[in-house]
Amino acid sequence: MQMMYDDRTIYKKKMLQAKQQYEDTKDAKYLKEVSRYNNIQMARKISLNSAYGAIGNEWFRYYDLRIAEGITTSGQFSIRWIEKSLNVYLNKLLKTEGIDYVIASDTDSVYITFDKLVNTVLKKRTDESEDSYRSRAVDFLDRVAQEKIEPFIDKSYQALASYVGAYEQKMQMAREVIADKGIWTAKKRYILNAYTFGVYKKYAKLKEGDYVCITNCGAYGRTLSSNYNMRPFIEEIVVNNNKYKTVRKRQKIENLI
């Protein structure tokens, strides 16, 4: 398990580096590297995640419900720990009291609002365009994440490891998305107006009627799709150069009733 985890960390880092190199150079050779490294790291991720399900399966050789429950409860506890720690830290940093800066959390993520920090530290210049101001804000928040938030999270999780007597501190978090707007409707159901997903990308201006292709959505594609809450499957299309073909038609709500 440790070897698989280490492998996944290595190849995910290589994937992000290749993505950034492609964004900087637009050299198509990096797209092949992105695809290769992504396939490897996703294979490791799926294998690691499946171990949790296997441990909770009574037919598995190493089945132990206590361990399965321990994985779930320790995950819940660790994310609540870092949520509370970040709120204490940010209230102290921004000289506020009782403000909840963590606006949402997930299995392994926290979403933090930095509007007060940005509005206090980063003033808009006279005659500065919105695009220029947003670009400076993104750069500023990226530095804040690397120089302040991530080191604090590492320190907090080390304190948690000492508190629970952990064999080894294994919790790590890094900045992923920087966005200026977000809407949450339920767990794992949200939308962000993002400027970066760990890689700085330059997006073209969009207008109504344009088609947008998201070429990589991690594990949250067909593999983990479901009809939860009566959501139909979307249409699946395979694209090869300038040709495309529908391989699975859009599911109708009538098919679920």
User: With bands split at pLDDT 50, 70 and 90, how would you rate the model's confidence at 216?
Assistant: low
pLDDT of residue 35 exceeding 60, the answer is yes
Question: What was the pLDDT predicted at 186?
Answer: 78
User: With bands split at pLDDT 50, 70 and 90, how would you rate the model's confidence at 187?
Assistant: confident
Q: Which two tokens stand for residue 44?
A: 């490791």
Percent helix, percent strand, percent coil in the chain, to nearest 5? 50, 15, 35
Per-chain mean pLDDT for the chain: 86
Question: What was the pLDDT predicted at 203?
Answer: 61
Angle between helices 29-55 and 65-93 (to 10 degrees): 120
38 contacts 45 by C-beta, under 8 angstroms: no
What does the chain come to in residues?
257
Pairing outcome for strands 102-105 and 110-112: antiparallel
pLDDT of residue 151 exceeding 60, the answer is yes
Q: pLDDT per residue over 78-113, tens digit each?
A: 999 999 999 999 999 999 999 999 998 888 899 999
Alpha-carbon span 222 to 237, nearest angstrom: 12
Phi, psi (deg, nearest 5) at residue 240: -130, 105
Q: State the pTM of this model.
A: 0.69
pLDDT of residue 223 exceeding 70, the answer is no
Question: What was the pLDDT predicted at 200?
Answer: 59
Domain boundaries, the chain: 1-63, 68-202
Max mean pLDDT among 67-81, 180-194, 199-213 falls in 67-81
- Neighbour-count burial of 242, counting CB atoms closer than 10 A to its CB (0-12 exposed, 13-18 middle, 19+ buried): exposed
Question: What was the pLDDT predicted at 106?
Answer: 85
Superfamily of domain 68-202: B family DNA polymerase, palm domain (3.90.1600.10)
